[in-house]
Amino acid sequence: MNDNLYSSTTKKDDLIVITGAGGFIGGALARYFADKGFTNIRAVDKKPLPLWYQTTPGVENLSMDLTNEENCKVAVRGAKEVYNLAADMGGMGFIERFRIMCLRSILINTHLIEAAYNAGVERYFFSSSACAYNVKLQEDPNCLALKESDAYPAYSERGYGWEKLVSEMFCQEYTAERGMKTAIARFHNVYGPWGTWDGGREKAPAAMCRKVVESKEKNICEMEIWGDGTQARSFMYIDDCVVGIDKIMHCEALNAVPVNLGTSEMISINALADLAMNCGGIKLEKKYLLDAPKGVAGRNSDNTFIKSVLNWEPSMPIAVGLKKTYDWIESQYNDRKAGKAVVKDIA
C-alpha cells in the first residue's frame, strides 16, 4: 500500500470501539490492535463475557445488545474509530434457516452509525459480505470471480445478503450527506483458529476439519457433504482478514467504497474435504446430502480493485490455513473430551 493512501490521525491511546468483539472476527481484531500497541480498546458484544470466543488483556469489555439504540450511544461514547462487526450470522445452514434473525441485524448498524456520527466518531467500518452480490451471477461452480460492481442490479441472498447491502447504503449516505468517513469490506468466507467449529453456525472449513477429527476418534469411515460437493468458494484466513480491515479503514481512496476482502483462490467443497482429510491423515468416503443447505453454486473474489488501490490482497493459501485450523480444532476437540471449556461450547 502506498504511504500517501494511508491516512489515520488515531493515536495509540485514542478510543477504538469494536462491536461483535465476542465473536470470531471481532475478537481477532481486538487482539490485532492490542498487539499493534493500541491501549484504549472497547470491545462490545451481546453475549455474556464468559461466552466470548476470546478476550484480550487490557481491553474494556462490555456486554450489551446493540439492537438497542441507547446501548449504541453508550458503546461509542468518546470513540475515535468504530468497527462494526456485530451481527447474527453463521454458516450456510444458519443463514438459510434464520433469515429474520439475520435481517434484524440491520437494527445494529442503523442505530450504531447514527450514534457514532452524533458522538463525533472520525471513522466507521462496516463488515459486509459477499452474500450481498447478485445470486444470478453465482449459479455455476465455474462462475467468474465477483467484482465490486456485480452487487447491482441487486439480487442479494435472501435475509443476510439484503441486510448487508442495505447497511452498505447507510454508510455511503452518511458519507455523502453528512461527511462521515466510512469503510465497507465485503468479506468472503473467513476461517481460522478461534472460530466456531461445532453447533450449527460453523462454516465449511471448520465443519470439514471437525468431521475428520470426529471420524478418527469414533472410527467413522465417511464424511457428510452438503450438496453434491461441486459448489465452489474462496476462503480467507483470519490473519489476512484483520490486516485487510485495517488497510481498508485507513485508505482515503476507499472512503464509502465497498471493496472485496477475500482470497481469489477458489476451491470446490469436494476438494476442501480432501484437504481436511489430508490434514488428519485419513481417507473417508463422501456421503452427499442433496437436501442440505448448500448456498450458491460458485463464488469467488475478484481482487483486481483492492490490488490496484492497496497493492495488497489476502494471500494465505487454503492448504496452509486449513492445516493451522485443523490443528486448533483437534486441540479443541481433545480439550472438550478432557472436560475443558472450548469455543464450540461458549459460542
**Are the C-beta atoms of 235 and 205 separated by less than 8 Å?**
yes
> In sequence order, what are the beta bridge partners of 124?
82, 182
Q: In what order do the strands lie in the sheet with 181-187?
A: 60-63, 41-45, 16-19, 81-84, 123-129, 181-187, 258-261
Q: Which of 53, 160, 237, 333 is catalytic?
A: 160
Nearest Cα to Cα of residue 254 among 208, 309, 316, 202: 309
Phi-psi region of 282 (alpha: psi -120 to 50; beta: other; left: phi over 0): beta
Element (H, E) at 81: strand 81-84
Rounded CA-CA distance 224/220 in Å is: 11
For the packed helices 269-280 and 204-218, what is the interaxial angle rounded to 10 degrees? Answer: 40
Q: Determine contact, residues 71/17, Cβ cutoff 8 Å.
A: no
Q: Is 32 among the residues known to form the active site? A: no
**Which of the residues are catalytic?**
160
